[in-house]
Every structure is written in structure tokens, then in C-alpha cells.
């Protein structure tokens, strides 16, 4: 039996650190439009649902053929913990397995999402979630103590034990667990590694500017 996966695409109209980042101009388009067009090219998903409190966003998604979820505006405010947002949206949609896909990774193209689904369908019986991830080979401290190296002898960067971080390109799990946990992270995650540059997530203005620059360069190379 093939596991059926519904992609959930959360899109807020407003954001704090980068104002209106999902719908502001990005290389002649927007993060919203770019990601929906990238996902239209995928072949492995059974369904997509765009969740937003904003009518214009939902109207645009519907015109492109996406199913939509009208989100209670409360769950798009900064005062609501993300765990509550996860649980709320999961409780509102119908699906067995869901893929949480943000629009804030503009350099990720359709083939990466399809590959993630293919991988999940092979590992889902042994792992309770698939998490997009990247390896960071830098010298990390926590509470003023090194966590992935010893100060002496000083290690070469290529010998550092990588610290794994989550860029939230795509995370896949059961809808029930997303609702129950209020999180995409389970006890037996499978790390789906994505190129560190490609997986850049836009949280701050410098991320936005960096991704826009790389995206424009990629467009020029394809011409």
C-alpha cells in the first residue's frame, strides 16, 4: 500500500522580523508564488492544502488549483506558540500523513520534495517522522562549553563532528502525531539532509537578501 501524503503549506500575511516576507517582492515574484509554482511541478504528493488567515493568499492558491484552509486569525499572531499552530491546523485537515512545507525556502525546487516523499515511503515503518536537516561543521558552544570539539588539540574544521539543524524545508509525519505532539519532531526521526545553501530558511532580512541574490544568479545560469 502506498502511503498517501498531503502537503500543508502554512502562509501568514504578516511577519515580524522581515515585514510581509511571504508576499513582498522577491526577484520579481513573491515567496508564496514561487513556492506554489515549484510545488505544482511535484509528482509524489496526493494533495496540497494552503493554510492562511488572509483572503488574498487563499484566493491566489485556489486559482492555482490548491485546496485551502481558512485559518482562525488568532493562530497567525506572534503571541501563539508554534505548538498550538501545529496542533490546530492538524486538527482542521483530513489526511493520514502530512508534509509540513514552508514557503520560506525559495531555493528548494520540486525534485527535493519528491525525493523526500520517496524516502519517507521507504522508512516510515522504522521512523516516526522525516525531518529535513543540514550538517553544520563549525565550532559550537552551549552554556560557554564546546559541544562538538575539544579546545586542545585544536581540530581541523573537516574533522569536526557536525551539529544537525532543521531548516524546515519539509517535515513528514502522521497528521495524528502532528496534532498530538504540537511538533514535527518525534522520538525516532529520520534526517533527510539537504544542501546547506539550498535549504536556507528566511528568518531575517540578510537571509532574504542572500536567497534573492542566489535565486537571481540561478535564473541567469538557466538562460
Handedness of CA 105, 109, 111, 113 (dihedral sign): positive
**φ, ψ (nearest 5 deg) of residue 134:** -140, 150
Confidence of residue 221 (pLDDT cuts 50, 70, 90): confident
Task: Show the cell assigned to 137.
Answer: 561543521
Q: What is the pTM of this model?
A: 0.94
Alpha carbons 96 and 117: distance in angstroms, whole number: 14
Q: 5-222 in CATH: which number?
A: 3.90.550.10
Handedness of CA 31, 53, 184, 21 (dihedral sign): positive
Q: Which pLDDT does position 22 carry in this prediction?
A: 94
Confidence of residue 1 (pLDDT cuts 50, 70, 90): low
Percent of the chain with pLDDT over 90: 89
- Lowest mean pLDDT of 17-21, 135-139, 207-211, name the range: 17-21
Q: Is 77 strand, coil or helix?
A: coil
Annotated domain spans of the chain: 5-222
Q: Are 130 and 120 a contacting pair, CB within 8 Å?
A: yes
46: left (phi over 0), alpha (psi -120 to 50) or beta: alpha
Q: Which pLDDT does position 210 carry in this prediction?
A: 97
Q: What is the pLDDT of residues 122-163, one digit of tens each?
A: 999 999 999 999 999 999 999 999 999 999 999 998 899 999
Q: Are 165 and 189 a contacting pair, CB within 8 Å?
A: no
Torsion over CA of 104, 90, 36 and 28, rounded to 10 degrees?
A: -40
Q: Which pLDDT does position 67 carry in this prediction?
A: 98
Amino acid at each position: 500500500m502506498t502511503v498517501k501524503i498531503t502537503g500543508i503549506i502554512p502562509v501568514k500575511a504578516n511577519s515580524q522580523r522581515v515585514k510581509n516576507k511571504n508576499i513582498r517582492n522577491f526577484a520579481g515574484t513573491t515567496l508564496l508564488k514561487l513556492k506554489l509554482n515549484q510545488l505544482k511541478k511535484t509528482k509524489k504528493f496526493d494533495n496540497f492544502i494552503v493554510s492562511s488567515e488572509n483572503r488574498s493568499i487563499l484566493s491566489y492558491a485556489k486559482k492555482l488549483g490548491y485546496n485551502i484552509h481558512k485559518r482562525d486569525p488568532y493562530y497567525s499572531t506572534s503571541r501563539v506558540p508554534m505548538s498550538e499552530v501545529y496542533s490546530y491546523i492538524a486538527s482542521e485537515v483530513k489526511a493520514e500523513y502530512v508534509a509540513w512545507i514552508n514557503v520560506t525556502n525559495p531555493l528548494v525546487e520540486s525534485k527535493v520534495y519528491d525525493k523526500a516523499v520517496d524516502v519517507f515511503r521507504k522508512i516510515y515503518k522504522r521512523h516516526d517522522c522525516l525531518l529535513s536537516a543540514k550538517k553544520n561543521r563549525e565550532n559550537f558552544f552551549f552554556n560557554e562549553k564546546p559541544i562538538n570539539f575539544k579546545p586542545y588539540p585544536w581540530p581541523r574544521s573537516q574533522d569536526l563532528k557536525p551539529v544537525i539543524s532543521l531548516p524546515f524545508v519539509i517535515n513528514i509525519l502522521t497528521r495524528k502525531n502532528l496534532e498530538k505532539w504540537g511538533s514535527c519532531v518525534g522520538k525516532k526521526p529520520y534526517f533527510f539532509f539537504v544542501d546547506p545553501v539550498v535549504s536556507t530558511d528566511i528568518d531575517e532580512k540578510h537571509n532574504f537578501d542572500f536567497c534573492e541574490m542566489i535565486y537571481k544568479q540561478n535564473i541567469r545560469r538557466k538562460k
